[in-house]
Each structure stands twice: as structure tokens, then as C-alpha cells.
A and B are shown apart, each in its own frame.
Chain A
Amino acid sequence: MKNKFAVQVDDLTVAYNYKPVLWDIDLAVPEGVLMAIVGPNGAGKSTLIKSVLGIIKPIAGSVAIYGKPYNKQRKLVAYVPQKGSVDWDFPTTAIDVVMMGTYGSLGWIKRPGQKEKKAALEALEKVGMLAFKNRQISQLSGGQQQRVFLARALVQNASIYFMDEPFQGVDATTEIAIINILKELRKAGKTLVVVHHDLQTVPEYFDWVTFLNVKKIATGPVKEIFNDDNLTKTYGINYKVAINK
């Protein structure tokens, strides 16, 4: 039987210095959803993504991408780390950063060639950054840097996209441009898991949501579970978010 879950996390526990930051997480992400992970600072949102991608080793539990371990399914997965996690003064250009997305499918030692360059240019075009392809990355604005990161994920041509706060520090135009691309990806049948901070935009942007605060509070369709009850459970205070229709 074919597994209908794009991502399945079972009993995942992650600890830093023996202090659990994620506790016994069970999570199943259906194929083709655009899912937000929400929760307060220190809730373990980034850690969850990083453990799924094998960047952090969990102390217990398992992760499956379409029913198989991550290291067997790398090519199906693209990753957009937090913008602040890299040094933007690194001596490289926008197109070069996008090309890094092709390194996974190239494997060790092999160099990117014309095919990879063409893919990178197309991805830059899609995010509206073609004009900046040879710009040094420190000379880009925050929003432009985020678009370059998105282009790098697009070039991976994956089935599942993990994104860590892709809207952080971007202007309104970029935010709209990014969410349109994400929605397009979902239309194309891709699965997207996005760490998100702005609760106001959750109902508008996403169709699936996971509430996380060290433990998983709830996961499901936004329409059904994005309510004050879950928000209060997640954020610990009596949270009244205006979910205006």
C-alpha cells in the first residue's frame, strides 16, 4: 500500500544538553498541503524541521519521508533555512547561492555544469531576481536575500519543501511574491512545511497547521483547528487572535 503521508514523525524527542526541546512528537503531514508550524519562541519549531532533515540527531523516535528514512529520500526534499543562519558577507553571488541547491543531486565531487546553471537562472526568474544574478549577496536587501533562498529551494525540484521563517524580515511585496510561489507549488501537488510567526496570516496563507510547544498541541486543517482554544494551549496565555473572515 502506498503511504499517503509525505512526512511522518513518530515519537520524536530531541534534547540539547539533556534538556528536551521536543518531546514525543507524533506528526503526519498529508501529501499536497501547505502547512504552517506555529508556536512561541523556543517551542522547537526549527528544531523539528532540522531533526526531520537529519541536521540534528534526535535522542528517540523516527522520521519517514514517503515511508522511508530521510537519507534515502534526500532528493525529494528541499530546505530553506532561516535567513539569519548564514553569513551574507560570504564572497559569492546570487546565482552561485541558487546553484548550491543542485549540489545534492550532483553528489560528491561532481561540479555543476550548464544544466544546473540553466535551472538556477529559471529559478531566479521565477522569484523575480534574474536581474540580480551576478550581484554579491551582501549587496541584496533582506527581501531579495530571502528570494534567493527560495530560488535555491526551487532549483532542488523537490516534492516536499521545508522552510524556516521565509517571511522573516521581508517587505510586503516580497511576502506576497513568496506566498504566491508557495501556493503555486501546492497547486502542483507539492507538500510544504513552513515555520511561521505571524498568526494573523495563517488562515489566509495556509490550509494545514501544526501547533507546537515542546509537545505537539494539535495538527490538522486550518479551518477545523485554528481556534482560540488551541492558540491558548500553545501560547500559554488566554490568546484571542482575530480570526476575521
Chain B
Amino acid sequence: MTSPQIEIQMIAAVVAVACAIPGVFLVLRKMALISDAISHSILPGIVAGFFITQDLNSPLLILLAALTGVITVILVEAIQKTGLVKEDTAIGLVFPALFSIGVIMIAKNANDVHLDIDAVLLGELAFAPFDRLILSGLDMGPKSLWLMGTILILSLGLLFLFFKELKVSTFDAGLSSALGISPIVMHYGLMSVSSVTVVGAFDAVGAILVVALMIAPAATAYLLTSDLKRMLLLSIVFGVFSAIAGYWLAHFLDASISGSMTTVLGVVFLMVYLFAPRKGLLSVLYRQKQQRTEVSLITFLLHLNNHSEEEERHINHLNEHINWQKIRAKTILDLAQKNNMILIKDEIVFLTEKGKDFTQRALEYIMTNKDERIEHMKDDFFLFRG
């Protein structure tokens, strides 16, 4: 690897981590679309900032553009508060308006400034190492690495300090407010951090793809864990993995780096969506199939429980009586036998003590929905897991 290659990957990884952190809270607050709005509407802020500072990495530009992001949120909320339109409509009204102002500003001054729409929208990570931070003649590395590194440290620090506050205000704004942890302060704090992150990252990955880095890792992690800390950690891992894998994909395909990174993010999400142990598609399908089998099993056991007459319990008659196909009946019979719930003697099926007990408890659960007595059965049977 050459040194620019290492630098590009470092920038990509730092951007990914910086985006993943606010991303988790945006996803949990069902505000993923707001990040999309912010990423577009900061354009006029960036352009205005650029006119003033003539430097895309200037802290002033970052602050000006981030302010536009916060203004976006305020505008969306103001329109929403009128009660005339819903939030998604308000978002759809605000960001194209601000974005178009940015586009016109660039177009009117295209001849004088070095800033074009493509660069803002798509970013170009490959050029990032060219813009270097020189301190008293010393090369300190790419400017954008320093910039994103600073933003990352800032947001990590805030996350560390205010983790508890972020958690409670995201989960239960009412309680949070009653406890004296103002959800409004936390909301605008998060919006400010998100805006600063988006502005810092747009140079590297572009204003549009930064949304993918914020939302996709969080959405992926959400499918895998039920712990907020772990969700944050997993988002970071997915983000960094996709950033670096995306870089190499772009390298081999000779394609856009940010495009490849986003593609990897999408593929990672798809994989997790399919194969996640609890919420994944395959596991849901498997669970449904198991539940169907378990319902059949209980139906079968109930039938045995309710009928003492031998002919009702004759192995050949069971098919007709419960009206199942042969294969299904065989599966259920095997399952019941394997679990020692039934005994077959002279082709007559008997409920064992265990089978009786199980039927009784299952019946009780279905009728009362009280799950104290079936707690231990939850591990073996999907049906009882609610």
C-alpha cells in the first residue's frame, strides 16, 4: 500500500465512525430522513461559507454550514407545528428549497470559484490526500483527516459525557423532561452534532452518500442487538468495515470510492437482514414454520387428551380425524414421540404423563395468556415466546 492509499482508508474509517454515532440516535428517534434533509440543505451554507473563507476545510465554513443544518430542523418543525402537513411533507418542502438556493449560488459564481456541484454531491475521497495541513513548513497529513478526527473526538466526548441523557431522552422524552433532562436541549445537541458531522464528511464522501454512512450501519446493528451500547459498537464496526472494503472494491473496479462504500453498506445490510439470528428474514421464516408445527403438535395432543376412546387414537385414524396430510401427521407424530409426550402401543396412541402436563400448561397459557408456568418451555418452543 502506498501512503495516499493508507491515508484515504484512514479518512474513510474516521468518517464512518463519526457518522455512525449520531446515526444510531437518528435511527432510534425515527429521524433518518432528517439526516437526508440536513445533508442537502447545508449546501447554501457551504457555498456561503466558501465565499467568505475560500477554504473548504475552514472551521468557519463548517460552523456556517452546520448552522444551515440546524435551521433546516427548525424550519421543518415550524412547518410541522402548523398542523397543516405531516413531518415527511415538511422535510420534503424544506430541503429542496434550501438546496436549490445553494445550486443557484454555485451556478451564478461558477466562473470565479473552485466549487462544483458534483464535488459537493458525490465527494471525491481520492483527492483528499492532496489537500495537506502544513504547520510551519511541516507536513502534518491530509487536512480532512484532521478535520474529521476533530469532529470524531468531539462527538465521542459528547457521547461519553451524555450517554445517559441521550438514552433517556430518546427512549422517553416525557420522563426525561420530568427528570429535568431537557429533551429539547438533547434534540438540538444531536442535530448540531449531526450537522457538523455531515458538513465535515461531505468533502470526503459527498453530501448524499454521507446519509448512507449515518443510517445503514445503525439500521444493520439494530437488527442484531437489543443493547444500546452494543448497537453503537456494531454500527461503528459495520461503518468502518464498509468504508475499507468499499475502498478496495473501488480500487479493483476502478470506480468511485464513495459509491463503492455505499454499495458495501447496502450489501452488509442485506446480508444481516437475511441472516440475523432473531430479526433476520430467514430466522423469521423458520420461526413461523416452527410455530405452525408447534400449533399442530398442541392440536394433536389436545385431541388425544380429549378422546379416551381407542378408535379416535388409532394411528391410522388420526389422519382423517384431524384432517392432516400424511407427511404432516408423520412429522408431528415423530416430534411428539421424540419429546416423550406420547406412547404408541399396538397402533394406539397414548399421552404420557409428560405429554399430559405439557398439554395442560399449553392450554392454560393459551386461555389465560399468563406465562409464569411456561417460562421454562420458552427455550424449546417458539410458540411460548410471545
Chain A interface (Cβ < 8 Å from any Cβ of B)? 17, 50, 53-55, 71, 74, 77, 79, 81, 85-87, 90-93, 97, 100, 103-104, 106-109, 111-112, 131, 136, 138-139, 141, 152, 171, 173
Give the contacts of B77-97 with A (CB-CB under 8 A). Answer: 81-83
Q: Is B132 interfacial (CB-CB < 8 Å)?
A: no
Report yes or no: B172 in contact with A74, Cβ–Cβ below 8 A.
Answer: no
The CA of A91 and the CA of B222, in the complex, are separated in Å by: 8
CB <8 Å contact, A103 and B83: no
- Chain B residues, Cβ within 8 Å of A17: 81-83
B187 within 8 A of A: no
CB distance A92 to B172 under 8 Å?
no
Max chain B Cβ within 10 angstroms of own Cβ: one of A17, A91, A107, A131: A91
Q: How far is the CA of A53 from the CA of B180 in the complex (A)?
A: 10
Residue of A at shortest CB range from B29?
Answer: A87
Structural contact, A92 and B174, CB atoms closer than 8 A: no
A100 x B174 contact (CB < 8 A): no
The reply to whether B226 and A138 contact each other, CB–CB distance below 8 Å, is yes
Task: List the B side residues contacting A108 at CB < 8 Å.
Answer: 162, 165, 181
**Number of A-B pairs, beta carbon distance below 8 Å:** 88
CA distance A87 to B110 in the complex (A): 47
Q: A55 with B174: in contact, given A104-B180, A139-B386 (CB under 8 Å)?
A: yes
Residues of chain B with a CB closer than 8 A to A111's CB: 163-164
B181 touches A85 (CB 8 A): no
B226 contacts A81, C-beta separation under 8 Å: no
Q: Are B227 and A93 in contact (CB under 8 A)?
A: yes
Interface core residue of B28, B81, B175, B226 (most chain A CB under 10 Å): B175
Question: Closest residue of chain B to A77, judged by CB?
Answer: B178
Q: Which residues of B contact A104 (CB under 8 A)?
A: 178-181
- Which residues of the other chain, B, contact A138 by a CB distance below 8 angstroms? 226
Of B162, B174, B385, the most chain A CB neighbours within 10 A belong to B174
Q: Are A92 and B161 in contact (CB under 8 A)?
A: no
A103 near B28 with CB under 8 A, answer no
CB-based nearest B residue for A106:
B164
Other 6 A-B pairs with CB < 8 A, given A17-B81, A108-B162: A55-B174, A77-B178, A79-B178, A92-B167, A111-B164, A171-B370
Q: Are B228 and A91 in contact (CB under 8 A)?
A: yes
The CA-CA distance from A109 to B166 in the complex, in Å, is 10
Provide the bound-state CA to CA distance between A5 and B168, in Å.
30
How far is A93 from B228 in the complex, measured between Cα atoms in Å? 9
| Contacts known (A108-B165, A108-B181); A86 close to B171, Cβ less than 8 A | yes
Task: List 29 A-B residue pairs with CB atoms under 8 Å apart, sorted by A's residue number.
Answer: A55-B174, A55-B178, A74-B179, A81-B172, A85-B172, A86-B171, A86-B172, A87-B28, A87-B30, A87-B171, A90-B28, A90-B170, A91-B228, A91-B230, A91-B231, A92-B171, A92-B228, A100-B171, A103-B176, A103-B179, A104-B179, A109-B162, A109-B164, A111-B163, A111-B164, A136-B226, A139-B385, A152-B175, A171-B370
CB distance from A161 to the nearest CB of B (A): 11
**Residue of A100, A136, A152 ringed by the most chain B CB atoms within 10 A:** A100
Q: Does B5 contact A (CB under 8 A)?
A: no
Which residue on A lies nearest to B231, using beta carbons?
A: A91
Which A residue sits closest to B171, measured CB to CB?
Answer: A90
Bound Cα distance A109, B385 (Å): 37
Tell yes or no: B225 within 8 A of A by CB.
yes
Min C-beta distance of B256 to chain A, whole Å: 33
Give the chain B neighbours of A173 by CB distance below 8 A: 370
Which residues in window 40-94 of B have CB below 8 A to A?
A: 81-83
Q: How far is the CB of B177 from chain A (nearest CB, A)?
A: 4
Q: Which 7 A-B pairs have the closest CB atoms?
A: A104-B179, A136-B226, A81-B174, A79-B178, A53-B178, A55-B177, A91-B226
Q: How far is the CA of A152 from the CA of B168 in the complex (A)?
A: 12
* Nearest CB on A from B287, distance (A): 13
B175/A79 in contact, CB under 8 A: yes
A53: chain B residues at CB < 8 Å are 177-178
**Neighbouring A residues of B162 by C-beta, 8 Å:** 108-109
Per a CB cutoff under 8 Å, which of B83, B178, B227 touches A54? B178
**In contact, A71 and B225 (Cβ under 8 angstroms):** no
Residues of B contacting A55 with CB < 8 Å?
174, 177-178
Which residue of chain A is the closest to B224 with respect to CB atoms? Answer: A91
Chain B nearest CB from A168 CB (Å) reads 15
- Is B124 part of the binding interface, using a Cβ–Cβ cutoff of 8 Å? no
CA distance A46 to B252 in the complex (A): 60
Across the interface, name the chain B residue whose C-beta is closest to A52: B178
The answer on a CB contact under 8 Å between A103 and B171 is no
Determine if B371 is an interface residue (Cβ-Cβ < 8 Å): yes
A227 to B268, CA, bound (A): 63
- Name the residue in B30, B164, B178, B231 with the highest tally of chain A Cβ atoms < 10 Å from its Cβ: B178
A100: B residues at CB distance < 8 A: 167-168, 171-172, 175
Q: How far, in angstroms, from A79 to B231 measured CA to CA in the complex?
A: 28
Q: How far does the Cβ of A87 sit from chain B's closest Cβ, in whole Å?
A: 7
Contacts of A152 in B (CB 8 A): 175
CA distance A92 to B180 in the complex (A): 21
Residues of A within 8 A of B174 (CB): 50, 55, 79, 81, 85
